[in-house]
């Protein structure tokens, strides 16, 4: 979070003299209360300052980095997920390659009837198969995909921070967003309802930056 020089000065004044009223801050800076109102609003909304009626402003004790971290922990996957790109396990590797290029994604989710997750195919999987001399028009993706339960997933209720950590730790480009569904046999399946990629997370960082 990038603060202006005046905002940094206000923060120091409140750290050293808080609680302090807006009028008192303005007096120290030889400015009007109206001039400072936008800066005080930004610092308060960012969580760096707290304000109480008839008391004034005081320092929250949070660093700008901590404020950003708390925001990431509060943002849920449900709010930034995108539409999943799925194929059937009988889909040929050739058709999967075409789908990946047309949809401009790096990961395809393999599903069966009802949209239940069966596996994942990455760009690397398709590249290795294509270079391996296989007949990609006849080879089904079910042969080369990473199968359940070895697929990393996320849920709409998981924090973006937790999901991003999975992406980095396991060096994958995207996670299927899933929810549990009851199966006719009494078991449970995972229905694919979205996709969380590094692009989604990058877009969130840009939006947070624009909102500062």
- At residue 195, the pLDDT reads 97
**211 pLDDT above the threshold of 60:** no
CA 75 vs. chain centroid, Å, equals 7
Return the closest-CA partner of residue 193 out of 166, 156, 157.
Answer: 156
Cα separation, 11 vs 59, in Å, equals 7
- At residue 137, the pLDDT reads 94
Q: DSSP 3-state assignment of 209?
A: helix
- At residue 73, the pLDDT reads 79
Q: Is the CATH number of domain 5-63 1.10.10.10?
A: yes
Domain boundaries, the chain: 5-63, 73-208
Contacts 24+ apart (CB under 8 A), 46-51: 46/1, 46/212, 48/11, 49/10, 49/11, 49/14
Q: How confident is the model at residue 90 (pLDDT cuts 50, 70, 90)?
A: very high
Tell me what the mean pLDDT of segment 52-67 comes to: 77
What's the token pair of residue 3?
A: 């603060």
Q: DSSP 3-state assignment of 138?
A: coil
Burial pattern 116-130, b for ≥16 Cβ within 10 A else e, equals: bbbbbbbeebbeebe
pLDDT tens figures, 62-77: 766 666 667 777 899 9
- At residue 189, the pLDDT reads 92
pLDDT, averaged across the chain: 89
What's the token pair of residue 181?
A: 């569904």
- At residue 212, the pLDDT reads 47
**8 pLDDT above the threshold of 80:** yes
Q: DSSP 3-state assignment of 3?
A: coil
Q: Is the pTM of this model over 0.75?
A: no
What's the token pair of residue 59?
A: 């320092």
State the CATH class of domain 73-208.
alpha beta
């Amino acid at each position: 979070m990038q603060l202006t020089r005046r905002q940094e000065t206000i923060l120091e004044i409140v750290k050293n003299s808080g609680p302090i009223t807006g009028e008192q801050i303005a007096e120290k800076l030889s400015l009007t209360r109206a001039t400072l109102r936008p800066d005080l609003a930004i610092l308060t909304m960012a969580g760096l300052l707290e304000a109480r009626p008839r008391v004034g402003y005081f320092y929250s004790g949070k660093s700008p980095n901590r404020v950003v971290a708390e925001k990431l922990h509060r943002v849920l996957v449900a709010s930034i997920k995108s539409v999943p790109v799925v194929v059937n396990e009988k889909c040929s590797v050739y058709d999967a390659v075409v789908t990946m290029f047309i949809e401009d994604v790096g990961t395809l989710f393999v599903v069966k009837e009802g949209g239940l997750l069966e596996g994942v195919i990455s760009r690397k999987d398709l590249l290795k198969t294509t270079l391996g001399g296989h007949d990609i028009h006849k080879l089904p993706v079910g042969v080369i995909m990473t199968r359940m339960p070895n697929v990393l997933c996320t849920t709409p209720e998981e924090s973006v921070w937790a999901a991003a950590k999975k992406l980095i730790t396991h060096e994958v480009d995207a996670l299927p967003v899933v929810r549990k569904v009851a199966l006719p046999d009494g078991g449970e399946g995972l229905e694919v309802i979205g996709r969380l990629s590094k692009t989604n997370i990058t877009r969130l960082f840009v939006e947070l930056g624009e909102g500062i």
